[in-house]
Structure 1
Amino acid sequence: MLDLLAAAGGSFDVETATRAYLDTLQGSARAQSDAYFEGGYWLILWGTVVSVLIDWLLLRFRLANAFRNLGERVSKRRWLVTGITGFLYLLAGSLAVLPWSIYADFYREKSYDLLDQSFGAWAGEWAIDLAITLIVAPLIIILVYAVIRRAPRTWWLWATGVIGAFLTVGMILGPVFIAPLFNTYTEMEQGPLREKIEAVAAQYDIPAEHIYVFDQSKQHKRISANVSGLGPTIRISLNDNLLERTSEEEILAVMGHEMGHYKLNHVWWIVGIMLSLFALGLFVTSRIAPWLIARHGQRWGVRDIADPASLPVLAICMAVWMFLMTPATNSLIRWAESHADAFGLDAAREPDGFAKVAMRLSEYRKIEPGPLEEALFFDHPSGATRVRMAMQWKADHVENPQVVVPEAGYLDSE
Structure 2
Amino acid sequence: MSRILFIVFAGLLVAGLPADIIFAQSGSAPFDVEQASRAYIDTLQGEELEKSNNYFEGGYWLILWGALIGILVDFVILQSRFSARFRDWAERVTKRHWLQPALYALPYVIAGFLLTLPWTIYTGFFREQRYGLMSQSFGDWFGEQMIGLVISLLIFPLLVMAIFAVIRRAPKTWWLWGTGVVSIFLFIGMMLGPVFISPLFNDYHEMADGPMRDRIVAMAAEYDIPAENIYVFDQSKQHKRISANVSGIGPTIRISLNDNLLERTDPDEVAAVMGHELGHYVLGHTWRTIFILALIIGLGLFLVARLAPRLIERHGAKWGVRTISDPAAIPILSLILTAYFFAATPALNSLVRITESDADQFGLDTAREPDGFAKVAMRLSEYRKIEPGPVEEMLFFDHPSGATRVRMAMQWKADNIENPVIQNPGKLEQE
Normalized against structure 1, the TM-score is what? 0.98
| Pick aligned residue for 1:50 from 69, 74, 80 | 69
Cα shift readout 1:35-91 (whole Å, capped 9, x = no counterpart) = 000000000000000000000000000000000001111111112221111111111
Deviation at 1:99, TM superposition (A): 0.8
Equivalent residue, structure 2, for 1:185: 204
Per-residue deviation, 1:4:
2.5
Partner residue of 2:39?
Answer: 20
Match of 1:262 among 281, 292, 302: 281
Unaligned runs of 5+ residues in structure 2 are 1-16
Pick closer, same or farther for the CA change 1:86–1:392 going to 2, 3 Å: same
Query: Offset of 1:10 from its aligned partner?
Result: 3.5
Say if 2:20 is the partner of 1:4. yes
1:280 aligned onto 2:299 = yes
Once the two structures are aligned, what percentage of the paired residues are identical? 61
Q: 1:110 aligns with which of 129, 138, 152?
A: 129
SS at match of 2:99: helix
Q: How far apart, CA to CA, are the structure 2 residues paired with 1:410 and 1:36?
A: 19
CA distance in 1, matches of 2:267, 2:161: 49
Once the 2 structures are TM-superposed, how far is the Cα of residue 9 of structure 1 from its aligned partner?
4.0
Equivalent residues in 2 for 1:134-213, closer than 5 Å? 134-213=153-232
CA distance in 1, matches of 2:251, 2:101: 34
CA deviations 1:223-259 (Å, max 9, x no partner) are: 0000000111101000000000000000000000000
Matched position secondary structure for 1:165: helix
Match of 1:300 among 293, 316, 319: 319
CA distance in 2, matches of 1:314, 1:12: 56
Alignment of 1:5-404 (within 5 A): 6=23, 9-404=28-423
1:410 aligns with 2:428: yes
Aligned to 2:14: none
Query: Displacement of 1:274 after TM fit?
Result: 1.2
TM-score of the two chains, using structure 2 as the length reference: 0.94
Q: Using the alignment, how far apart are the partners of 1:47 and 1:3 within structure 2?
A: 50
Give 3-state SS (helix, strand or coil) of 1:403's partner: coil
One-letter code aligned to 2:405: R
Task: Give the Cα separation in 2 of the matches to 1:21 and 1:87.
Answer: 50
User: How far does residue 2 in structure 1 lie from its aligned partner after superposition?
Assistant: 8.6
Alignment CA distance shift 1:2-1:370 (3 Å): farther
The corresponding residue for 2:7 is none
Q: Over residues 357-388 of structure 1, what are the superposed CA-to-partner deviations in whole Å (9 max), with x where a residue is unaligned? A: 00000000000000000000000000000000
For 1:4 and 1:338, locate their aligned partners in 2 and report how far apart those are by CA, in whole Å.
29
**Cα-Cα RMSD:** 1.3
2:322 counterpart SS class:
coil
Equivalent residue letter for 2:430: D
Q: What is the SS of the residue equivalent to 1:212? A: strand
Amino acid at match of 2:428: Y
* Deviation string, structure 1 residues 81-133 (Cα, Å, up to 9, x no partner): 21111111111111111111001111100000001000000000000011001
**What is the DSSP-based 3-state SS (H/G/I as helix, E as strand, rest coil) of the residue aligned with 1:410?**
coil
Counting matched residue pairs gives 412
Q: Distance in 1 between matches of 2:277 and 2:425?
A: 25
| Equivalent-residue separation in structure 2 for 1:201 and 1:39 (angstroms) | 38
Determine the C-alpha separation between the residues in 1 that align with 2:58 and 2:406.
24
Alpha carbons 2:379, 2:428 under 8 Å: kept: no
- Cα distance in 2 for partners of 1:193, 1:40 equals 35
**Alpha-carbon distance in 2 for matches of 1:97, 1:40:** 17
| Structure possessing the higher relative contact order (Cα contacts under 8 Å, 6 or more residues apart) | 1
Q: Distance in 1 between matches of 2:109 and 2:312?
A: 20
**Alpha-carbon distance in structure 1 between the residues aligned to 2:20 and 2:153:** 55
